[in-house]
Amino acid sequence: MFTFASDLAGELAELREAGLYKQEREITSPQSAHISAAAGGPPREVLNFCANNYLGLADHPAIIAAAKRALDDRGFGMASVRFICGTQDTHLTLERRVSEFLGTDATILFSSCFDANGGVFESLFGPQDAIISDELNHASIIDGIRLSKAARYRYRNRDMADLEAQLRAATSQGDGGARRTIIVTDGVFSMDGYLAPLAAICDLADTYGALVMVDDSHAVGFMGATGAGTPEHAGVGGRIDIYTGTFGKALGGASGGYVSGRAEIVDLLRQRARPYLFSNSLAPSIVAATLRALDLVAGSADLRTRLFANAEAFRRRMTDEGFDLLDGEHPIVPVMFGDAVLASRVAALMLDHGVYVTAFSFPVVPRGKARIRVQLSAAHSPEDVETCVAAFVAARADATA
């Protein structure tokens, strides 16, 4: 008779045979554009082109200093949820600052954006309601929607005709249509780097009386004129009902997430959102460091300018070298290989050439669409970008020799 452990061992073997087993490479340095990483040998310095460290703030000295001061002034942890004794003045300050940054009424903090998305739908939408979600939305949105008893609709990625068809379907739901309908989308789809067509989404929402929610995790801090994200970039900041996002990418890269929007929405989440009610408060050092990150974003556009200059240069040089890239303007740049084995082989060879990247294949992306997802950072120098391009050229030659 098979034991539970042997069953799991068999499943793990199947993952390895299918090339789907995820290996974790050990990093022995701070997260940065240049890191020390081990891959089957002693750690060595490599260029990192696969982090969400868009603004290069993960090891910024001002952010580290703010975190150290908070350890002395506010302690290590809160040992409590918010509504018992886990709310410090700095938590409230950060919530106000995020609201000011995004132009919303109010904000509520969560331990991650995964938890933020997990807390929205069950708290706000019930059996009489409809949730309409883009098919490529993040796993946290998918899991959060599953917790709600609302009717679920899905539309093809960025397909406004299909979205309108789902909106029509929601109007015929039950007796007289859904009580509340919400359209949910990522601001940036992280495997492709594509932006959601937010202006068109908001127009359809207005036509059908729907709410709009945007998870802006891969944009907050650097997209838009002030870095407020894809709604600002699309000119629809005042038309978004619910923002969710993370502090774990551009804004310091540690952890923490939020829901921001109308005051009534945030107030109800404080009463009902289970990930908020039953999870420890954000650590004081993360709160203080995130406040400092917001200061840096608000104080200068230099990092954003450098980030997009790097992305443009990488796209241009890779195109010059004959690589197949997905079109876009975002610093996520998918380099398409199609074949999963080839993509994995090139990624492995890139490390031999001193550049750390990651290959993605089915089921993370569709079959035949295997790729290496490159993520640019403001911390990369022009020389770093050129080194990455040269590594791609050399690894492609090695892999196809």
Residue 175 has which token pair? Answer: 């007796």
pLDDT, average across residues 220-225 = 98
Residue 271 has which token pair? Answer: 């009463």
pTM of this structure = 0.95
Of 99, 112, 148, 190, which is the active-site residue? 190
pLDDT above 70 covers a percentage of the chain that reads 100
Output the average pLDDT for the chain: 96
User: 214 by DSSP, 3-state: which?
Assistant: strand
Q: What is the rounded distance in angstroms from the CA atom of residue 131 to the CA atom of residue 182?
A: 5
DSSP letter string, 121-157: HHHH--TT-EEEEETT--HHHHHHHHTS-SEEEEE-T
Residue 60 has which token pair? Answer: 């910024």
Q: What is the rounded distance in angstroms from the CA atom of residue 240 to the CA atom of residue 203?
A: 11
CB-CB contact of 155 with 135 (8 Å): yes
Between strands 370-375 and 358-360, the pairing is antiparallel
Of 60, 249, 369, 380, which is the active-site residue? 249
Looking at residue 25, what is its pLDDT?
86
User: Quick one: how far is CA 34 from the chain centroid?
Assistant: 22
Residue 358 has which token pair? Answer: 């990651």
Site of tokens 């580290």: 64
Whether 60 is a known active-site residue: answer no
* pLDDT for 214 beyond 70: yes
Whether 190 is a known active-site residue: answer yes
Looking at residue 1, what is its pLDDT?
53
Question: Which of 169-178, 317-326, 392-401 has the weakest average pLDDT?
Answer: 169-178
What's the start-to-end Cα distance of the chain, in Å? 48
Of 218, 233, 369, 380, which is the active-site residue? 218
Q: What is the largest CA-CA distance in the chain?
A: 66
Q: Please write the tens of the pLDDT for every residue from 28-74.
A: 999 999 999 987 778 899 999 999 999 999 999 999 999 999 999 99
Q: How many CB atoms lie within 10 A of CB 4?
A: 7
CB-CB contact of 130 with 149 (8 Å): no
Whether 149 is a known active-site residue: answer no
Q: Please write the tens of the pLDDT for every residue from 136-147.
A: 999 999 999 999
CA distances 15 to 12, 23, 154, 348, Å, are 5, 11, 29, 19
CA distances 34 to 37, 57, 213, 391, Å, are 10, 13, 36, 15
DSSP letter string, 99-114: HHHHT-SEEEEES-HH
Q: Please write the tens of the pLDDT for every residue from 114-171.
A: 999 999 999 999 999 999 999 999 999 999 999 999 999 999 999 999 999 999 999 9
